[in-house]
Structure 1
Amino acid sequence: MNNFINNFYKNQALFYKVFLFIVTAVLIVYLLPKGGKFKYEITKGKPWQYENLYAPFNFAILKTDAEIIKEREQIIANNIPYYKFNESIVNQVKAEAPQQIKLIFADSILVGKQKVISNYVESTLNELYEYGVLQEERGTKYDKLVYIKKGNEAYEVNYGKIFPQDEILPYLTKTITQNNLNAFKPELLEIFYNIIKPNITYDESLTQKELDSKLNAISYTRGSIERGTIIVSKGEIVEGEKLDILNSLKKEYESQVWSDSSYNWILLGYSLLVCLALLMLLLFIRKNRRDIYDNNVKVSFIFFNILLMVFLTTVVVNFEAKYVYIVPLCILPLTLKAFFDSRLGLFAHVITVLILGFIVPNSYEYMFLQIIAGIVTILTVSELYKRANLFISVGQITFIYILVYFAFTVIQEGNILDLNSEMFLTFILGGLATLFVQPLIYIYEKIFGLVSDMSLLELSDTNSKLLKELSEKAPGTFHHSLNVANLAEAAANEIGANAMLARVGALYHDIGKMENPTYFSENQTSSVNSHDELSPRESAEIIIDHVIKGIEIAKKNNLPDRVIDFIRTHHGTTTVYFFFMKEKELNENVSPESFKYPGPIPFSKETAILMMCDSVEAASKSLKEPTTTKINDFVEKIIDKQMDEAQFLNANITFKEIQLIKKILKQKLKNIFHLRVEYPE
């Protein structure tokens, strides 16, 4: 039992990675489609590359989206609207007519003309209300059929037979003239003005109900294919009816309800593929980025980002697949490049795109486009902390999306008339969403304790609280740190290392000297040397302690681990040689171990650069009457000594890069020590 517990503690990092791997794989498989995957790639306008394809089962031919939209538009255009006919209003109007005649006309007139006037009013009302009077025009064509509903019955009439209210006056004027009643025109018009009321109203609810019923009755299929029927022959061009049948077969195949046995096999297949993809990523990290592999937080961060992209894509595809490009997938390589490096960012991006190929429609087109966009992201984005660079890169990414989509459309359709302008808007929205990477990086820094170049830019500000304190307590050390920072930045740029990280590490590498500043020569302003009263061993302990105290101060001020690494390693396991030799004069048998820095030795190019620059800058103060030869020999001697002591074994730095760093340091020192030509007085 004890052995098991001991093994568990020894291998807990490995157990955690296994647990993380399994959880991520399970969640991704859960998000994947639950149906089968059609095994053929359908490419419009291209020859069928596979063997003759026969229908594996009976299935219906689905109508295309364009056909369904056209059919819906036709139904909407041909839909007959319903109007309600109010019989009670007609009866009321006809009942009021005799009273209005008696009220408007004088008795003397009615004696001879009452019958004529009454007959005219009655016949006119019958004509007006035969199909009804409409209060307001609906813009319907006059020759269009409409339904007029009387009670529980409805009958078709021509819309032009219904009287709109604004057409009644011209009609009355015309009929009065035709009946030779112009002498009574004002009175007759007044009668009709008083009694006529609209009795036809548009029945919106019934019309919409009828329209919905017709739309719901639309058939999404046209014909069917029997099992065993040949669908497409090898070499046959995939277009027209063949393309529609193949797409119908694909949708039917992927939407089938599988038996428990088949479903389990499909689940197993998905699990194997997802696990294989994640395993490749994990092996890549283990082989090429061992420092990341050994850090469980960083591995968790990478897996979390992949899972997030799969989740967002699944949500969008389930909502509406045509908006899949709104998901800013290029955030993944951007984020990983900001925290780690380009190769890891691109590798993780490719793995994620391969997984998403199971989710999205037109998987080949999607994967090609996203991989190209990811490569462009990695190649174009540099110095993410500069806001202009991000906007430029987002513009380039959006342009690549549009360009690749244009190319695929031209290949598939053979023209540019079928370009979907909505897709361009989708790409632009996806590009704008990519700008969210900056606040996202800030959130990740707080959650996962990582550091990006944007944070390094903030830390490089010499007006920060900690650097101001260093300049006040140890001004000589502060000036030394600035000089080392300039040297380290130049050297890092020369070999393609992270110049910002090297600069920030150099600025903070000696903050431990704030505790006892006068024990370091650069801060001594008088001839009094604090070490004169101490033994060589005590002096060495104070010198060595500035590394430990620097780490403590850095942690107290919440400096990132990437910066603290520079404090730990800037002296590696070298010896405090001056005090060791003084002690050796007193005791020849003294061991050098007690005069060595605790280490560790540098484990990155940037920390190795700092060790070289720190040693060269500090020792350069001892140069008297420097010349080009002296400076060259001086730099060679110091760095060669560090190499002889195996200080760069873990730094993944090459001899060629070390030679380039030497070259830069020599140039910089020559500039620092350059003497003016003396002119005669």
Structure 2
Amino acid sequence: MKNLLDKLYRNQSIIFKFFLLAISVFLIVYFFPTGGQFKYEIIKGKPWQYENLYAPFDFAILKSDEEIAAEKSRIRKTHIPYFQYDVSTAESVKNNWQEKLDISQDSLVKSDQKATEFISKTLDEIYQNGIRIQDGDDNNYSIIFLIKNKQVEELLYKDLLTQQDLKPFLISKIEGNNLSNLKNELLEIFFEVLEVNVEYDEELNQKQIQSKFEQISYTRGRVTKGSKIIAKGEIIEGEKLRMLNSLKYEYESQSLESSAFVVVITGYTCLVGLSLLMLLLFIRQYRPDIYDNNNKITFIFFNILFLVFLTLLVLRLDTDYVYVVPLCILPLTLKAFFDARLGLFTHMITVLILGLIVPDSFEYMFLQIIAGIVTILTVSELYKRANLFISVVQITLVYIFAYFAFNMIKEGSIAEINYNNFIYFLLSGVGLLFVQPLIYAYEKIFGLISDLSLLELSDTNSKLLKELANVAPGTFHHSLNVANLAEAAANEIGANSLLIRVGALYHDIGKMKNPIYFTENQTTSVSPHDELSPRESAEVIINHRLEGIEIAKRRNLPDRIIDFIRTHHGTTTVYYFYAKQKEDDEGEEITDKKDFRYPGPIPFSKETAILMMCDSVEAASKSLKEPNTQLIDDFVEKIINKQIQEDQFINANITFKEIQSIKKILKAKLNNIYHLRIEYPD
């Protein structure tokens, strides 16, 4: 039992990765659609490349979108509208019209009985059907339904008076009753008392129209089992295209039998598992440092799951919206935290997984892979806002261009292209702009570091660096010089210059604990090491590494920065005190060298290796008395060659050619620092 537990403990990292792989496969497959999968690719306007296809079962032929739209348009045109009649308004006007008159109008009514009777009779006639608002539309309704007292009456649309119809209607009534001498007074009274009491019932009409829409049949005709649908070589168009799309829809919408369901799920599991396993193997082969870090592996798989679930959610809402999902946010995010190659490979694996269930899978995968490549090629220095905006515009334009070209092939006509997808591509581009807040959230959740955070850490006005400048000004100045040298060297060989600059600024923060023990901070000729033995002095010097790590952890510096503190001396020897101890021992060989050796680890990346070279060269260059070009060249060669001989770079993925380039940069920079010039003849 103990052996089993020991074995599990030793292999816990591998067990975790396979557990993560299994959980990811399960979650993805669980949410995959489980209908039947149509095994043929349908490309409009192209010949049918497969054998003759016969109907495997009876199925209905789906109507085209144009046919459905035409039926809906006909329903709207033939729909008899409903209007609501307000009885209370009509009764109020007819019974209380005299109360609204002014003194002159009231006296006219009381003095002329005929006018009073005319007004009452005309009001009854007007409110027989009511007055409606002029709607401004050229509606050609012939008849309408008028809802009055919860009863529906059918009448001609023209029998509903509008406010504009009232004046000619009233004039004809006044003249027909021989009241032309009171025309102006009567018109003034009518316009004073009349009120609109009929309005179009928007809610009821929409319900009625929607109810009729739901009764539309989305199929026309049927194809019987065994009927030939299309022969090999026939062009996929017209009725053939409709039958093929109908058969595909039937396949994908029907529920599978239990045995078939198990088979489909097994197939999905195998393909998704194989895809994610390939990603793991890629990381293990080419990014071993990431593979060994379970937190980073979890982060990569989380991003894949997030975008797969987002795409599945959109597909369930409407397949037309599939391009709204900003899938290129995946390579953007991974490039910010890791590198472009891993970002692109992970993006392609994700696209392959989604290609199993999205419609028009080849077109989808082509567009997404092309967009992912453009994302990797165009997005650089993500912390610069202008770069992100420019890259998003380029990605969106590539989407639109590729989609347009693809559909020119499919449709054979520019007029047939669905231009609505261009809007979806624009929305996807807007979604990509949220990558910066997303990266910030990931940094807090997973404890990772991106270029955005590195830029903040590189600010020399930060609290920790200002403290370093106050407590150990010589060390701060040394760190600035190392940062400049390391950044130039990193740019020369294509390493991460921003990361190495930040690492260089913080690599010696451990010297803040005992700054006076380091020569760059000593302002007098008296050294505190004079009171210590060589072993004690070496211990103080070596301990600045451990003290730097402790300070960095207390100040919440990222692990990638702490790595520079750990490795910037590797396993080298504090040679000055080692030689002094040998001298004190009268040249005898020192048996316990570990007292004078840094504990490591040695550099394990290009960036940490560059920092070791630059730190050693910059620190030792202060001992040069009368530097010249030849002396500096020999000096740089000697220091770096010694580090190579001591195997300080065997774990770093850096080549001899790159080391030679770094030497060249350091020599040039030191020559500039010491302002060396060629010697002119007398």
Normalised to the residue count of structure 2, the TM-score between the two structures is 0.88
Q: Residue in 1 aligned with 2:57? A: 57
Q: For residues 254 and 283 of structure 1, what CA distance do their matches in structure 2 show?
A: 33
1:194-205 equivalences under 5 Å are none
Is the 2:36–2:255 contact (alpha carbons within 8 Å) kept by the matching residues of 1? Answer: no
Q: Residue in 2 aligned with 1:628? A: 629
Q: For residues 531 and 106 of structure 1, what CA distance do their matches in structure 2 show?
A: 126
Could you report, residue by residue, the CA deviation over 1:134-189 in whole angstroms, capped at 9, with x for unpaired residues? 44455564672335679999786543355557546535654776798878989999
Q: Secondary structure at the match of 1:622?
A: coil
Q: Residue in 1 aligned with 2:75? A: 75
Could you report, residue by residue, the CA deviation over 1:295-339 in whole angstroms, capped at 9, with x for unpaired residues? 110000000111111111111221222222222211111111111
Q: Secondary structure at the match of 2:61?
A: strand
1:318 equivalenced with 2:316 (yes/no):
yes
**Out of 446, 449, 452, which is 1:451 matched to?**
449
Q: Residue in 2 aligned with 1:99? A: none
Q: For residues 93 and 603 of structure 2, what CA distance do their matches in structure 1 show?
A: 104
Q: Residue in 2 aligned with 1:100? A: none
Distance 1:493 1:134, change over 3 A: same
Q: CA deviation at 1:557?
A: 1.4
Could you report, residue by residue, the CA deviation over 1:94-138 in whole angstroms, capped at 9, with x for unpaired residues? 999xxxxxx98989x99xxxxxxx9x9999999x68994544455
Q: Secondary structure at the match of 2:626?
A: coil
Is the 2:61–2:220 contact (alpha carbons within 8 Å) kept by the matching residues of 1? Answer: yes
Opposite residue 440 of structure 1, the aligned amino acid is: L
Is the 2:490–2:496 contact (alpha carbons within 8 Å) kept by the matching residues of 1? Answer: yes
Could you report, residue by residue, the CA deviation over 1:596-642 in whole angstroms, capped at 9, with x for unpaired residues? 11011100000000111111111212223222222222211211111
Moved more, 587-596 or 479-488: 587-596
Q: Residue in 2 aligned with 1:265? A: 263
Q: CA deviation at 1:93?
A: 12
Q: Residue in 2 aligned with 1:357? A: 355
Q: Secondary structure at the match of 1:61?
A: strand
Q: For residues 239 and 60 of structure 1, what CA distance do their matches in structure 2 show?
A: 18
1:657 equivalenced with 2:658 (yes/no):
yes
Q: For residues 547 and 181 of structure 1, what CA distance do their matches in structure 2 show?
A: 112
Q: CA deviation at 1:658?
A: 0.8
Distance 1:456 1:178, change over 3 A: closer
Q: For residues 652 and 454 of structure 1, what CA distance do their matches in structure 2 show?
A: 25
Q: Residue in 1 aligned with 2:248? A: 250
Q: CA deviation at 1:372?
A: 1.0
Distance 1:534 1:206, change over 3 A: closer
**Out of 213, 219, 222, which is 1:221 matched to?**
219
1:427 equivalenced with 2:425 (yes/no):
yes
Identity of aligned residues (%): 63
Is the 1:51–1:234 contact (alpha carbons within 8 Å) kept by the matching residues of 2? Answer: yes
Q: CA deviation at 1:255?
A: 0.8
Q: Residue in 1 aligned with 2:554? A: 556
1:502 equivalenced with 2:500 (yes/no):
yes
Q: Secondary structure at the match of 1:572?
A: coil
Q: CA deviation at 1:258?
A: 0.9
Q: For residues 195 and 517 of structure 1, what CA distance do their matches in structure 2 show?
A: 97
Distance 1:435 1:200, change over 3 A: closer
Distance 1:89 1:291, change over 3 A: closer
Q: CA deviation at 1:447?
A: 1.0
Distance 1:86 1:344, change over 3 A: closer
Q: Secondary structure at the match of 1:228?
A: coil
Moved more, 525-534 or 342-351: 525-534
Distance 1:79 1:608, change over 3 A: same
Q: CA deviation at 1:62?
A: 1.2
Q: Residue in 2 aligned with 1:616? A: 617
Distance 1:296 1:86, change over 3 A: closer
1:442-481 equivalences under 5 Å are 442-481=440-479
1:646 equivalenced with 2:644 (yes/no):
no
Q: Residue in 1 aligned with 2:404? A: 406
Moved more, 453-462 or 583-592: 583-592
Distance 1:233 1:584, change over 3 A: same
Q: Return 5+ residue gaps in structure 1 as ranges.
A: 97-102, 111-117
Moved more, 380-389 or 43-52: 43-52
Q: Name the Cα RMSD after superposition.
A: 3.6
Q: For residues 502 and 202 of structure 2, what CA distance do their matches in structure 1 show?
A: 71
Q: CA deviation at 1:49?
A: 2.2
1:130-141 equivalences under 5 Å are 132-137=129-134, 139=137, 141=139
Q: For residues 581 and 91 of structure 2, what CA distance do their matches in structure 1 show?
A: 127
Q: For residues 599 and 94 of structure 1, what CA distance do their matches in structure 2 show?
A: 102
Normalised to the residue count of structure 1, the TM-score between the two structures is 0.88
Distance 1:166 1:399, change over 3 A: closer
Distance 1:35 1:622, change over 3 A: same
Q: Residue in 1 aligned with 2:101? A: none
Is the 1:141–1:159 contact (alpha carbons within 8 Å) kept by the matching residues of 2? Answer: no
Distance 1:270 1:168, change over 3 A: same
Is the 2:636–2:663 contact (alpha carbons within 8 Å) kept by the matching residues of 1? Answer: yes
Distance 1:145 1:568, change over 3 A: same
Moved more, 624-633 or 367-376: 624-633
Opposite residue 13 of structure 2, the aligned amino acid is: A
1:185-200 equivalences under 5 Å are none
Moved more, 601-610 or 206-215: 206-215
Distance 1:536 1:256, change over 3 A: same
1:490-639 equivalences under 5 Å are 490-585=488-583, 586=585, 588-591=588-591, 592-639=593-640
Opposite residue 579 of structure 2, the aligned amino acid is: M
Q: Return 5+ residue gaps in structure 2 as ranges.
A: 97-108
Is the 1:104–1:191 contact (alpha carbons within 8 Å) kept by the matching residues of 2? Answer: no
Is the 1:409–1:419 contact (alpha carbons within 8 Å) kept by the matching residues of 2? Answer: yes
Q: Residue in 2 aligned with 1:6? A: 6
Is the 2:146–2:152 contact (alpha carbons within 8 Å) kept by the matching residues of 1? Answer: yes
Is the 1:336–1:342 contact (alpha carbons within 8 Å) kept by the matching residues of 2? Answer: yes
Is the 2:371–2:395 contact (alpha carbons within 8 Å) kept by the matching residues of 1? Answer: yes
Is the 1:131–1:162 contact (alpha carbons within 8 Å) kept by the matching residues of 2? Answer: no
1:43 equivalenced with 2:43 (yes/no):
yes
Is the 1:281–1:348 contact (alpha carbons within 8 Å) kept by the matching residues of 2? Answer: yes
Q: Secondary structure at the match of 1:441?
A: helix
Q: For residues 128 and 667 of structure 2, what CA distance do their matches in structure 1 show?
A: 104
Opposite residue 381 of structure 1, the aligned amino acid is: V
Q: Secondary structure at the match of 2:622?
A: helix
Opposite residue 619 of structure 2, the aligned amino acid is: A
Q: Secondary structure at the match of 2:414?
A: coil
Q: Report how many aligned residue pairs link the two structures.
A: 667
Moved more, 245-254 or 337-346: 245-254
Distance 1:648 1:160, change over 3 A: same
Q: For residues 485 and 381 of structure 1, what CA distance do their matches in structure 2 show?
A: 25
Q: For residues 197 and 677 of structure 2, what CA distance do their matches in structure 1 show?
A: 107
Q: For residues 121 and 40 of structure 1, what CA distance do their matches in structure 2 show?
A: 77
Q: Secondary structure at the match of 1:146?
A: strand
Is the 1:140–1:159 contact (alpha carbons within 8 Å) kept by the matching residues of 2? Answer: no
Q: Secondary structure at the match of 2:221?
A: strand
**Out of 346, 358, 366, which is 1:348 matched to?**
346
1:23 equivalenced with 2:23 (yes/no):
yes
Is the 1:105–1:187 contact (alpha carbons within 8 Å) kept by the matching residues of 2? Answer: no
Q: For residues 344 and 635 of structure 2, what CA distance do their matches in structure 1 show?
A: 42
Opposite residue 413 of structure 1, the aligned amino acid is: E
Q: For residues 202 and 531 of structure 2, what CA distance do their matches in structure 1 show?
A: 103
Q: For residues 474 and 365 of structure 2, what CA distance do their matches in structure 1 show?
A: 56
Opposite residue 76 of structure 2, the aligned amino acid is: I
Q: Secondary structure at the match of 1:599?
A: coil
Opposite residue 44 of structure 2, the aligned amino acid is: K
Is the 1:21–1:278 contact (alpha carbons within 8 Å) kept by the matching residues of 2? Answer: yes
Distance 1:142 1:446, change over 3 A: closer
Q: For residues 67 and 470 of structure 2, what CA distance do their matches in structure 1 show?
A: 78
Distance 1:273 1:181, change over 3 A: same
Is the 1:331–1:437 contact (alpha carbons within 8 Å) kept by the matching residues of 2? Answer: yes
Is the 1:615–1:638 contact (alpha carbons within 8 Å) kept by the matching residues of 2? Answer: yes
Moved more, 15-24 or 152-161: 152-161
